[in-house]
Amino acid sequence: MDQDLAALEAALAQDIANAADPAALDGVRVAALGKKGRVTELVKSLGTLPPEERREAGAAFNALKERVTEALAARRSALEAAALDARLAAERIDVTLPARPEPSGRIHPVSQVTEEIVAIFSDMGFSVAEGPDVEDDFHNFGALNIPPEHPARQMLDTFYLATAGKDAQPLVLRTHTSPVQIRTMQAGPPPYRIIAPGRTYRCDYDATHAPMFHQVEGLVIDRHTHMGHLKGCLIDFIHAFFEREDIKVRFRPSFFPFTEPSAEVDIGCDRSGGELRIGEGDDWLEILGSGMVHPNVLRAVGLDPEEWQGFAFGMGIDRVTMLKYGIPDLRTFFDADLRWLQHYGFPAQDVPSTAGGLSR
- Do residues 354 and 120 make contact, with C-beta atoms less than 8 angstroms apart? yes
Report the distance separating Cα 186 and Cα 3, nearest Å: 104
Name the class of domain 109-344.
Answer: alpha beta
Instruction: Give residue 154's pLDDT band: very low, low, confident or very high (50, 70, 90).
Output: low
Q: Distance between CA 284 and CA 267 in Å, rounded?
A: 6
- For the stretch 92-118, pLDDT in tens is 777 787 777 666 788 999 999 999 999
Query: 134 falls in which pLDDT band (50, 70, 90)?
Result: very high
* Kind of pairing between the strands at 127-128 and 192-201: parallel
pLDDT in tens, 303-338: 999 999 999 999 999 999 999 998 988 888 888 888
Provide the Cα torsion 112, 115, 116, 121; round to 10°.
160
Residue 229 near residue 294, CB atoms below 8 Å: no
Q: Is pLDDT above 60 for 348?
A: yes
Cis (ω within 30 of 0) for the bond into 261?
yes
Segment holding 72, helix H or strand E: helix 51-91
| Distance set, CA 69 to CA 10, 43, 250 (Å) | 14, 15, 97
* Average pLDDT in the chain: 86
Task: Give the Cα separation of 349 and 360 in Å (integer).
Answer: 11
For 4, 19, 68, the CA distances from 72, given in Å and listed in that order, are 20, 10, 6
Q: For residue range 231-254, what is the model confidence (pLDDT) as tens digits? A: 999 999 999 999 888 899 999 999
- How is the chain split among helix, strand and coil, in percent rounded to 5? 45, 20, 35
Confidence band of 359 (pLDDT split at 50, 70, 90): low
pLDDT, average across residues 32-39: 77
pLDDT of residue 3: 61
Q: How far apart are CA 225 and CA 111, in angstroms?
A: 31
For residue 280, the one-letter residue type is E
For helices 22-33 and 2-18, what crossing angle results, to 10°?
A: 160
Res. 149: pLDDT tops 70:
yes
Do residues 282 and 162 touch, judged by C-beta distance below 8 A?
no
- Peptide bond before 98: cis, by omega within 30 degrees of 0? no
pLDDT higher for 203 or 140?
140
**pLDDT single digits (tens) 43-87:** 777 667 777 667 777 777 777 778 888 888 888 888 888 888 888
| Nearest residue to 327 (alpha-carbon basis) of 310, 308, 346 | 346
* Interval 116-130: pLDDT, tens: 999 999 999 999 999
CB 223 within 8 A of CB 303: no
- Model confidence at 195, in pLDDT bands (50, 70, 90)? very high
The model's pLDDT over 172-187, given as tens digits with 9 standing for 90+, comes to: 899 999 999 999 999 9
Q: Answer whether residue 197 shows pLDDT above 80.
A: yes
Q: Is the pLDDT of residue 1 over 70?
A: no
Among 93, 149, 140, 155, CA closest to 258: 140
Q: Cα–chain-centroid distance for residue 23?
A: 49
pTM of the model: 0.68
Rg (CA), the chain: 41
What letters, b where the CB count within 10 A reaches 16 and e where it falls short, cover 14-30? ebbeebeeeeebeebbe
Secondary structure element (H or E) that encloses residue 241, with its range = helix 227-242
- Rounded to an integer, what distance in angstroms lies between the CA atom of residue 13 and that of residue 104? 59
